[in-house]
Amino acid sequence: MLGLYLHIPFCEKKCIYCDFYSLETTTLIEDFVETLLVEIDIRAALLPQSKLHFDTLFLGGGTPSLLSAQQLERIITRLQKHFTFSSDAEWTMECNPGTVTRESLRQYKALGINRLSFGVQSFFEEDLQFLSRIHSKDEAVNAIQMSRDAGFENVNLDLMFALPNQSLAHWQKNLETAVSLETDHISAYSLIFEPGTPLNAMLQRGEVRAQDEERDVEMYAWGIDFLAARGYEQYEVSNFAKNGKMCRHNSIYWQGDEYVSFGPSAHGYISSEFSPGEQDYMRYWNVRSLQRYTAMVRSGVLPLTNSELLSEKERMFERAFLELRARGIRKHEFKQDFGIDVDIALQALIAEFTKDGLLRDTRERLMLSPRGYAVCDAITLEAITLLERYCGIAWKQLSVDDETILEEQELV
C-alpha cells in the first residue's frame, strides 16, 4: 500500500497540549495553497513511476477544515493531474468540529472525501475550555450527526483521557457518548505533556498536575474492555474500529509501508533507486516553518530539512516496533523481508508474555492481547532488546534532527 499525506498548517486557535506544526492564522491560507500546488508539481516530477498510484489520501494538520471547498478542490485536482488513486481509496480529512457546517460537509463528500476524523477530545465543557478547544460539546455532537446526514459512513472521533482532574466517571461518560453516536472508529489517547507546549509550561510551574500512572492505566484498561464489549476491535495501542473500519492510512505507518507527504513539517518514507542499482528506503522531512517552506518551494526546490537512507536492519527494528504496537508482527513477511524467524529471535519474549496472557502467538502473527496493550511499552522494549541481541547490533531510533524539533519563531 502507498499513502499520500498533506499537512495543512493552520488552526483557528492553538490547543495548549498540541505540538503539531500549525500557525494560529487563516490569512496565509490562500498563499499556502498556491505553494502546496507547486510542491506537488516539483515532487511529482521527481517520484519514480511506481510511486504515482496511491491507496490512501490523508489531509491532516493543523485544521484542514479551515480550507474552503474551492481551495480543497484545487489541491485535489492538482493531485489527480499527477497521480492516480485506487478505485476504493480511503480519503480522510481531519476536521475541527468548530469549523464545519452542513454545507461544507456536503462539499467534502462531493470532492471524494470518504472518511472524516474529528478532534473532539472530550464531551465536557470544562475539559474543552481547559484544553483551549474552539468547539463546544454540542458542536461536536452536531458535527457527527451532520456528517451522517451528508452521507459519511466512516467517521472517527479522537478522545483524550488522563486529563488533569478528570475522573474515571467522566472518561467513561465520554466513551459512552462516542459509542452512542455510533462512530465507526475511536482514537483514545492519554494526554501527553509535550515539551515546548503551554501545557507543559503549566506543569513545570506547578499550575496543573499530571494524573497518576495508576489512574491513567485504569482509564485505558476500562476503555479497552468497554469498547471491545461494544464491538470495537482494537488494532493499535490507541485505535479502535467497528465493522472492520480500521484507518487504512494510519495502518500504512504501522506496517512500515510507504507514504509520500507534502506541506511544512510533513515527513515521507519511500523506496527507490536512490543509489544506482540498489533499492533504497529513504525517510525525508520537510522544513517546519511556513516561511522557509514557501521560500524553498517558490525557488523550485524540495522543501527538505533532512533525509536519510535506512539500512535493512533499521527497517527491521522499526517494523518490529511499529507492528507490535498495532496488529502484531506478521511473521511470514518479516522472514521474507529480513530473513529473521520471529519465533526463534523472540523465543524468550513469547515464552514469558504468552504465559501471562499479554501476548498472543499465532502461526501468522505475534500480537499483543488487550491486557498486553496496557503494558506495550515494556513489551516492545523487551522485543527490541532481544532483536538487538539476536542481530548483534543496536537500534538507533530514527529521529528528526534538532532543527525540526524546535519550531521556528514566525511572525504571522
Query: What is the C-alpha to C-alpha distance for residues 341 and 347, in angstroms, rounded to an integer?
Result: 10
Judged by CB under 6 A, the chain residues 294 through 323 that form the site for ligand SF4 are none
Dihedral of CA 219/221/223/226: which sign?
negative
Residue nearer to ligand SF4 on the CB measure, 63 or 380:
63
| Residue 231 in grid coordinates | 464491538
Task: Decide: is 33 part of the binding site for ligand SF4 (CB under 6 A).
Answer: no
Task: Decide: is 29 part of the binding site for ligand SF4 (CB under 6 A).
Answer: no
* Residue tagged 515539551 (cell numbers): 195
Task: Decide: is 192 part of the binding site for ligand SF4 (CB under 6 A).
Answer: no
Q: How far is the CB of 176 from ligand SF4 (least distance, A)?
A: 23
Task: Decide: is 15 part of the binding site for ligand SF4 (CB under 6 A).
Answer: yes
Query: Is 353 in a helix, a strand, or coil?
Result: helix
Report phi then psi at 90, rounded to 5: -90, 125
* Residue tagged 479551515 (cell numbers): 66
Judged by CB under 6 A, the chain residues 58 through 77 that form the site for ligand SF4 are 61-63
Question: By rule CB under 6 A, what count of residues binds ligand SF4?
Answer: 11
Q: How far is the CB of 129 from ligand SF4 (least distance, A)?
A: 13
Query: What is the C-alpha to C-alpha distance for residues 375 and 237, in angstroms, rounded to an integer?
Result: 10
Task: Decide: is 96 part of the binding site for ligand SF4 (CB under 6 A).
Answer: yes
Task: Decide: is 18 part of the binding site for ligand SF4 (CB under 6 A).
Answer: yes
Question: Do residues 370 and 224 make contact, with C-beta atoms less than 8 angstroms apart?
Answer: yes
Task: Decide: is 156 part of the binding site for ligand SF4 (CB under 6 A).
Answer: no
Which residue in the shown chain puts its C-beta closest to ligand SF4? Answer: 18
Q: How far is the CB of 99 from ligand SF4 (least distance, A)?
A: 9
Q: How far is the CB of 139 from ligand SF4 (least distance, A)?
A: 13
Q: How far is the CB of 100 from ligand SF4 (least distance, A)?
A: 13
Judged by CB under 6 A, the chain residues 209 through 248 that form the site for ligand SF4 are none
Task: Decide: is 274 part of the binding site for ligand SF4 (CB under 6 A).
Answer: no
| Residue 220 in grid coordinates | 485505558
Query: What is the C-alpha to C-alpha distance for residues 174 and 119, in angstroms, rounded to an integer?
Result: 13
Residue nearer to ligand SF4 on the CB measure, 160 or 346:
160
Report phi then psi at 292, rounded to 5: -70, -35
Residue ranges of E strands in 214-275: 232-236, 239-242, 258-262, 267-275
Q: Which stretch binds ligand SF4 (CB under 6 A): 56-64, 187-195, 203-211, 340-348?
A: 56-64
Helices (H), 112-136: 125-130
Q: How far is the CB of 228 from ligand SF4 (least distance, A)?
A: 27
Task: Decide: is 14 part of the binding site for ligand SF4 (CB under 6 A).
Answer: yes
DSSP state, residue 408: P
The strand order across the sheet containing 239-242 reads 232-236, 239-242, 185-190, 155-161, 115-121, 84-95, 53-61, 2-8, 258-262, 267-275, 278-286, 304-310
Residue nearer to ligand SF4 on the CB measure, 17 or 353:
17
List residues bridging with 95 in a β-sheet.
Answer: 118
Binding mask 116-145 for ligand SF4 (x = CB under 6 A): ---x--------------------------
Q: Which residues of the shown chain bind ligand SF4 in the complex (CB under 6 A)?
A: 11, 14-15, 18, 20, 22, 61-63, 96, 119
